[in-house]
């Protein structure tokens, strides 16, 4: 068995099978189980190493050729695959509780497998194409059948599509830069092209306006999945660029531009989140702020970039899953997610509201919760470089905190006679409860991520130098 | 290890009560379990004295290259007085529960025990990171407890406002950490830079309602005597420990004078309102503000151990008054031992409170202290509106006074043993002046109308004086919201893509100009 077959082809085929052959009520369990099994295999079986089980020898070969392109995984990819499929399993198990249709699990599996392929493909520039295909597969998820796509969906597709030619074109130019490193003009042009491509992919300010629009018009659970999946793989793709091209890491102009973009995203995302009156849009802006943090990390002149990135990415998956699940439960019971519609819901949906608020506080870096350790580490690293930038990041996080407190105030503002009552189903309470426990565990004991983090720097071994 | 033993005794007892509540809701021995846990925990904290100082570290966060500060708890001459005060208060809450009208295995016993445990963890936190984590758990616990116990939109809003003040206090403590990291050092209480020290005091002040002056706790909660007392006093004391741990050298700046003035205003205001409060429970927020402000002034004057004294006085003297719900003349007189503890006279609990540099602030400090002590005397001697022990069984009649007396004994004992501030003559002249002024105020209270108590419904905790500031804040907020909405409408409207591309071109040209 080859690794690309196992972690790309199989989940893709399972996704197709679920879409065409499986009933809705089994899809969450099947999809979640497949993703969980793939995560476990990635954790237990090393790639390209023989494993003896009694008299049977098992070996997962690292690569496969497909239409002249190679898909390769190294031994160090095991931890990464475990993280990706582990978090995907969490999202798929949650679909039952969120009430999302079976298209989520099937298309979700296909999207995750395509994005996983983007990590493995060689030449690695083809990742841009795979990300674009994954983005197109998101559309049927976002738009219910026989309905016209909203403005946010259209804009999302436009921006993702803009990203692809910029990145492919920059790849062609980068080959020229490698051939003649002294050519400043080509270097600047290649850097600008690459920057624009990633600006579209990461949804850097002001290219992020599709995110709050999407949170307004689409299912929160689907939009949350999108906000988890695309930035996660885009970050890995971007780290690949930084790892391969030395001049990208050493150029102070590029580093400044990356950090400036990141700080702007964090500060504007935080401030805009605090000024919203729609709890779905708040989630969108919070995700934007966190993507900004990831961009800041990539611009840091530090040997800890990979550790910091994954310390932030892993809790992000959990936080967004809990938040999106809670939002979708509330949306099914409230007319909309505007403040005046969700006022006082803490007493009728205590589990969903508690989970939502804890996820929101976690995103703001509240101590004890999953987001805190990573933010603390980022602040400390950034403070050593520039206190002004740290202050802006801090302002952004305070904005997210203010947003969480506003949400809290709205949720608890119930009439005097309203009694506390749990209206969520037991599946919903269980899923939310597990998610909340996860938030606290990751917040209090971030060292449990160490087995995953230990091998990851070897994936990008030139970044840490 | 002893720290963990004391805290675990409280947590395990709380857990046992919860299990009993589910498994045997009508069991008659639950109070014995609760009180037994409280007694053992208090005794175990006394045992710390044999080993002081000692510390315990939790498993380190990893990767070690990113997290250099360990999660560390330390028992020393700063944390011990706070810990014994908190353990005693927890035990007193359980002992006095015997005389409460509703005597069942209630959520409030579990809450009091858990709060005692978290409080001890907070005061033993040896670095800001550890303190941040414990503060956060205390804030979340308090938020949940308060939200469960209040009704109505306005009371819920007060709970959220109180939580937000404390959350932003957490933010300030975090910023102190970041500022320290910018200077190339790791923040711990032993090596705080001059800039970071003030952030720490400001963080404590914000959480405690001193900077800017506001009352973080509403008085309308149904949690009045037992858990309510525990909640307010332990929560406040856990923030005051930060003042005690801030070294004097880190506070030498112009801003410390400004902070002292603000704290003085809060102390005098708190003392004045406390003196005129209709009863001790309605006045409790002012008691807290007043003692907390005196504690801040002590710390800013270069005497962090004074902050310990005021913190212990807040818990022990306040606890003995707020837990007294039964009319017993001899016990009321015993409660008056609190006057001695608050007086700063030689060998009292607060004897070492004014050993710092007060300068020309001294007369105002004396006024603030006198107002607070006079208020205490007035409330301790007020005989009306309390229950009687007549209808209680014999054991309850013995146990209830023991709870109050425990707090009285511990506050006298702390004046003599166990920490740096004990057995001090202190600033006796200042203490004498404050005492004279106190007795003057007590004499004058029934004679001058201005000193008479105000009516209960006039005591508006957070809203009235704070409303001006909050109105200004909301106006600013609404203005910003309008601007943000305009930007969103522009970028998300029909021409949004064109505007976005225009912005992108603008940014690229700006960045290109900035590069060489």
- Across the range A300-329, mean pLDDT stands at 93
B404 and B498 assigned to the same domain? no
Q: Is residue B288 part of a domain?
A: yes
Q: Is residue B469 part of a domain?
A: no
Chain B nearest C-alpha distance from A446 (Å): 6
Match 């049927």 to its residue by tokens. A140
B205 and B147 assigned to the same domain? yes
- Across the range A361-377, mean pLDDT stands at 94
Q: Is B147 on the interface with A (CB under 8 A)?
A: yes
Q: Is B57 on the interface with A (CB under 8 A)?
A: no
Q: Which of B61, B139, B146, B169 to mutate to test the interface with A (most CBs of A within 10 A)?
A: B61
Q: Which residues pair with A122 in a beta bridge?
A: A70
User: In A, which residues are within 8 Å of B167 by CB distance?
Assistant: 366, 401, 405
Beta-carbon count within 10 A of A51 CB: 12
The domain in which residue B486 lies consists of 476-514
Q: Which residue of chain B is at minimal alpha-carbon distance from A447?
A: B62
Number of domains comprising chain B: 2
Q: Is residue B465 part of a domain?
A: no
Q: Which of A383, A395, A402, A413 to mutate to test the interface with B (most CBs of B within 10 A)?
A: A383
Axis-axis angle for helices B194-208, B254-276 (nearest 10):
20
Structure tokens at B105: 């295995």
Largest pairwise CA distance in chain B: 88
Of B136, B153, B492, the CB nearest to A366: B136
- Alpha-carbon distance of B352 to B486, in angstroms, equals 58
- Alpha-carbon distance of A112 to B252, in angstroms, equals 57
Q: Which of A197, A204, A209, A360 to mutate to test the interface with B (most CBs of B within 10 A)?
A: A209
B13 and B44 assigned to the same domain? yes
Are B409 and B102 contacting, i.e. CB atoms less than 8 angstroms apart? no
Q: Reduced to 3 states, what is the DSSP secondary structure of residue B125?
A: strand
pLDDT at A191: 83
Are B208 and B240 contacting, i.e. CB atoms less than 8 angstroms apart? yes
B452 CB burial (10 A radius; 0-12, 13-18, 19+)? exposed
Largest pairwise CA distance in chain A: 75
Are B128 and B187 contacting, i.e. CB atoms less than 8 angstroms apart? yes
B8 and B74 assigned to the same domain? yes
pLDDT at B516: 45
Chain B nearest C-alpha distance from A100 (Å): 27
B363 and B492 assigned to the same domain? no
B298 and B440 assigned to the same domain? yes
Q: Is residue B246 part of a domain?
A: yes
B438 and B498 assigned to the same domain? no
- Alpha-carbon distance of A31 to A15, in angstroms, equals 8
Write down which residue in B429, B457, B485 finishes a domain: B457
B60: left (phi over 0), alpha (psi -120 to 50) or beta: beta
- Alpha-carbon distance of B488 to A283, in angstroms, equals 15
Q: Which of B60, B65, B66, B177 to mutate to test the interface with A (most CBs of A within 10 A)?
A: B66
Are A78 and A455 contacting, i.e. CB atoms less than 8 angstroms apart? yes
B195 and B86 assigned to the same domain? yes
- Alpha-carbon distance of B239 to B217, in angstroms, equals 14
Q: Which residues pair with A121 in a beta bridge?
A: A71
- Alpha-carbon distance of B83 to A192, in angstroms, equals 60
Of A209, A366, A401, the CB nearest to B500: A209
Of A158, A311, A367, the CB nearest to B170: A367
pLDDT at B156: 84
- In tens, the pLDDT along A64-105 reads 888 888 899 988 889 999 999 999 999 999 998 887 766 899
- Under DSSP, the state recorded for B59 is P
Q: Which residue of chain A is at minimal alpha-carbon distance from B480?
A: A275
B177–A366 C-beta distance less than 8 A: no
User: In B, which residues are within 8 Å of A206 by CB distance?
Assistant: 491, 499-500, 503-504
User: In B, which residues are within 8 Å of A379 by CB distance?
Assistant: 174, 177-178, 181
Neighbouring residues of A55: CB distance < 8 A, sequence distance ≥ 6: none
Neighbouring residues of B109: CB distance < 8 A, sequence distance ≥ 6: B14, B17, B30, B31, B34, B94, B97, B226
Q: Is residue B377 part of a domain?
A: yes
Q: Which residue of chain B is at minimal alpha-carbon distance from A346?
A: B147
- What average pLDDT does chain A have? 90
User: In B, which residues are within 8 Å of A256 by CB distance?
Assistant: 514
Are A269 and A288 contacting, i.e. CB atoms less than 8 angstroms apart? yes
Per-residue pLDDT of chain B (516 residues; tens, 9 = 90+): 788 999 999 999 999 988 888 888 777 788 889 999 999 999 999 999 888 888 898 888 888 888 888 899 999 888 999 999 999 999 999 998 887 766 665 677 888 898 899 999 999 998 889 999 999 998 998 888 888 877 788 888 888 888 888 899 899 989 888 888 887 777 677 777 767 777 887 888 888 776 665 655 555 444 567 778 888 888 888 888 888 887 777 666 677 788 888 888 888 988 888 888 887 788 888 888 889 889 988 888 888 888 899 999 999 999 998 888 777 788 888 888 888 888 888 888 888 888 888 788 888 989 999 999 999 998 888 755 566 767 777 777 888 889 899 999 999 998 888 777 788 877 888 888 888 998 888 888 777 777 676 654 444 444 555 566 667 777 888 888 888 888 888 888 888 888 888 888 887 777 666 554
Confidence (pTM): 0.89
B254 CB burial (10 A radius; 0-12, 13-18, 19+)? exposed
B280 and B307 assigned to the same domain? yes
- Alpha-carbon distance of A12 to B389, in angstroms, equals 75
Of A152, A346, A413, the CB nearest to B157: A413
B162 CB burial (10 A radius; 0-12, 13-18, 19+)? buried
User: In B, which residues are within 8 Å of A408 by CB distance?
Assistant: 160, 163
Of B133, B480, B500, the CB nearest to A207: B500
Q: Is residue B466 part of a domain?
A: no
Q: Is residue B468 part of a domain?
A: no
C-alpha dist (Å) from residue B318 to B215, B291, B341: 17, 10, 11
Are A382 and A310 contacting, i.e. CB atoms less than 8 angstroms apart? no
pLDDT at B238: 86
Q: Which residue of chain B is at minimal alpha-carbon distance from A442?
A: B61
- Alpha-carbon distance of B362 to B367, in angstroms, equals 9
Are A299 and A255 contacting, i.e. CB atoms less than 8 angstroms apart? yes
A-B C-beta contacts closer than 8 Å: 144
A151–B492 C-beta distance less than 8 A: yes
Closest of A286, A285, A282, A272 to residue A339, by C-alpha: A282
User: In B, which residues are within 8 Å of A311 by CB distance?
Assistant: 63, 66
- Alpha-carbon distance of B26 to B353, in angstroms, equals 48
B150: left (phi over 0), alpha (psi -120 to 50) or beta: beta
pLDDT at A325: 95
User: In A, which residues are within 8 Å of B170 by CB distance?
Assistant: 366-367
Lowest mean pLDDT among A305-309, A358-362, A453-457: A453-457
- In tens, the pLDDT along A105-156 reads 999 999 999 999 999 998 888 888 999 999 999 999 998 888 888 899 999 9
pLDDT at B488: 86
- Across the range A435-462, mean pLDDT stands at 90
Neighbouring residues of B381: CB distance < 8 A, sequence distance ≥ 6: B332, B336
DSSP letters along B298-333, please? HHHTT-HHHHHHHHHHHHHHHHHHHT--B--HHHHH
pLDDT at B457: 45
The number of C-alpha atoms within 13 Å of A405 and in the hemisphere containing its C-beta is: 23
ipTM value: 0.91
- Alpha-carbon distance of A379 to A311, in angstroms, equals 13
Are B301 and B227 contacting, i.e. CB atoms less than 8 angstroms apart? no
The number of C-alpha atoms within 13 Å of A251 and in the hemisphere containing its C-beta is: 20
Are A95 and A428 contacting, i.e. CB atoms less than 8 angstroms apart? no
Chain B nearest C-alpha distance from A377 (Å): 6
B360 and B450 assigned to the same domain? yes
Lowest mean pLDDT among A175-189, A355-369, B81-95, B412-426: A175-189
- Alpha-carbon distance of A387 to A380, in angstroms, equals 10
B343 and B485 assigned to the same domain? no
Helix (H) or strand (E) holding B357: none
Q: Is B152 on the interface with A (CB under 8 A)?
A: yes
B412/A58: higher pLDDT? B412
Q: How confident is the model at residue A22 (pLDDT cuts 50, 70, 90)?
A: confident
B225 and B273 assigned to the same domain? yes
């Amino acid at each position: 068995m080859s690794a690309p077959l196992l972690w790309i082809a199989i989940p893709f085929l399972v996704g197709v099978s679920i879409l065409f052959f499986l009933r809705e009520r089994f899809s969450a369990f099947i999809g979640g189980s497949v993703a969980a099994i793939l995560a476990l295999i990635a954790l237990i079986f090393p790639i390209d190493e023989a494993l003896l089980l009694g008299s049977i020898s098992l070996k997962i070969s690292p690569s496969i050729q497909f239409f002249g392109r190679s898909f390769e995984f190294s031994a160090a990819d095991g931890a990464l695959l475990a993280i990706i499929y582990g978090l995907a399993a969490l999202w798929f198990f949650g679909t039952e509780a969120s009430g999302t249709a079976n298209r989520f699990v099937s298309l979700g599996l296909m999207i995750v497998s395509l994005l996983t392929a983007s990590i493995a493909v060689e030449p690695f520039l083809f990742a841009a194409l795979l990300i674009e295909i994954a983005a197109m597969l998101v559309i049927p998820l976002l738009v219910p059948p026989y309905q016209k796509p909203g403005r946010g969906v259209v804009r999302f597709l436009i921006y993702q599509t803009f990203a692809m030619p910029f990145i492919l074109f920059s790849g062609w130019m980068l080959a020229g830069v490698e051939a003649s490193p002294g050519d400043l003009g080509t270097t600047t042009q290649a850097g600008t092209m690459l920057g624009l491509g990633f600006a579209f992919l990461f949804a850097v300010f002001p290219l992020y306006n599709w995110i709050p629009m999407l949170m307004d018009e689409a299912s929160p659970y689907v939009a949350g999945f999108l906000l988890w999946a695309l930035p996660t793989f885009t970050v890995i793709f971007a780290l690949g660029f930084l790892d391969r091209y030395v001049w990208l890491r050493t150029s102070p102009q590029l580093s400044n531009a990356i950090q400036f973009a990141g700080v702007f995203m964090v500060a504007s995302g935080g401030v805009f989140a605090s000024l919203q009156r729609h709890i779905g849009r708040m989630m969108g802006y919070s995700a934007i702020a966190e993507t900004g943090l990831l961009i800041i990390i990539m611009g840091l002149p530090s040997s800890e970039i990979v550790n910091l990135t994954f310390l932030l990415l892993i809790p992000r998956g959990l936080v967004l899953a809990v938040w999106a699940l809670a939002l979708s439960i509330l949306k099914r019971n409230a007319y909309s997610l505007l403040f005046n519609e969700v006022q006082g819901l803490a007493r009728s949906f205590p589990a969903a509201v508690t989970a939502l608020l804890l996820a929101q506080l976690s995103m703001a870096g509240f101590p004890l919760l999953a987001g805190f350790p990573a933010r603390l580490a980022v602040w400390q690293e950034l403070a050593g470089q520039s206190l002004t930038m740290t202050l802006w990041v801090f302002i952004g996080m305070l904005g997210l905190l203010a947003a969480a407190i506003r949400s809290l105030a709205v949720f608890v503002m119930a009439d005097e006679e309203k009694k506390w009552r749990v209206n969520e189903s037991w599946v919903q309470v269980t899923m939310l409860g597990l998610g909340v426990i996860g938030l606290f565990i990751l917040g209090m004991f971030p060292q449990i991520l160490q087995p995953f983090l230990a091998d990851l720097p070897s994936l990008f071994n030139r970044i840490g130098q | 290890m002893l720290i963990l033993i004391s805290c675990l005794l409280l947590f395990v007892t709380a857990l046992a009560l919860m299990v009993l509540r589910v498994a045997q809701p009508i069991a008659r021995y639950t109070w014995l379990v609760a009180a037994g846990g409280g007694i053992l925990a208090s005794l175990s904290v006394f045992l710390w004295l044999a080993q002081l100082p000692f510390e315990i570290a939790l498993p380190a966060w990893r990767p070690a290259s990113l997290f250099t500060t360990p999660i560390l708890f330390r028992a020393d001459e700063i944390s011990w007085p706070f810990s014994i005060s908190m353990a005693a208060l927890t035990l007193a809450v359980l002992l006095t529960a015997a005389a409460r009208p509703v005597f069942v295995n209630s959520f409030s016993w579990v809450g009091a025990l858990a709060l005692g445990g978290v409080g001890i963890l907070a005061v033993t936190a040896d670095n800001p990171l550890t303190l941040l984590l414990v503060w956060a758990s205390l804030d979340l616990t308090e938020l949940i407890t308060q939200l469960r116990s209040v009704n109505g939109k306005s009371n819920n809003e007060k709970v959220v406002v109180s939580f937000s003040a404390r959350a932003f206090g957490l933010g300030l403590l975090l910023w102190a950490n970041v500022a320290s990291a910018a200077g190339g050092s790791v923040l711990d209480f032993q090596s705080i830079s001059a800039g970071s020290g003030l952030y720490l005091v400001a963080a404590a002040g914000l959480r405690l309602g001193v900077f800017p002056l506001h009352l973080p706790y509403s008085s309308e909660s149904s949690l009045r005597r037992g858990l309510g007392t525990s909640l307010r006093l332990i929560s406040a004391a856990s923030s005051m420990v930060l003042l005690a741990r801030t070294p004097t050298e880190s506070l030498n700046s112009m801003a410390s004078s400004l902070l002292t003035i603000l704290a003085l205003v809060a102390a005098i205001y708190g003392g004045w309102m406390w003196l005129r409060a209709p009863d001790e429970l309605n006045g409790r927020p002012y008691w807290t503000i007043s003692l907390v402000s005196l504690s801040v002034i002590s710390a800013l004057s270069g005497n962090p151990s004074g902050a310990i004294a005021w913190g212990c006085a807040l818990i022990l003297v306040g606890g003995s008054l707020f837990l007294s719900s039964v009319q017993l003349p001899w016990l009321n007189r015993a409660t008056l031992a609190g006057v001695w503890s608050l007086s700063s006279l030689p060998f009292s609990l607060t004897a070492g409170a004014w050993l710092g540099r007060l300068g020309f602030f001294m007369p105002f400090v004396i006024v603030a202290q006198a107002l607070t002590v006079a208020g205490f005397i007035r409330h301790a001697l007020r005989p009306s509106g309390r229950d009687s022990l007549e209808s209680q069984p014999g054991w309850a009649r013995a146990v209830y006074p023991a709870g109050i007396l425990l707090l009285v004994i511990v506050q006298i004992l702390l004046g003599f043993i166990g920490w740096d501030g004990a057995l001090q003559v202190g600033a006796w002249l200042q203490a004498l002046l404050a005492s004279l002024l106190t007795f003057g105020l007590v004499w004058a209270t029934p004679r001058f109308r201005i000193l008479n108590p105000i009516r209960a419904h006039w005591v508006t905790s957070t809203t009235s004086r704070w409303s001006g500031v909050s109105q200004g804040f909301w106006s600013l907020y609404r203005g910003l919201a309008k601007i943000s909405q305009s930007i969103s409408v522009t970028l998300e409207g029909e021409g949004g893509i064109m505007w976005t591309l225009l912005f992108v071109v603008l940014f690229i040209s700006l960045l290109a100009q900035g590069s060489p």
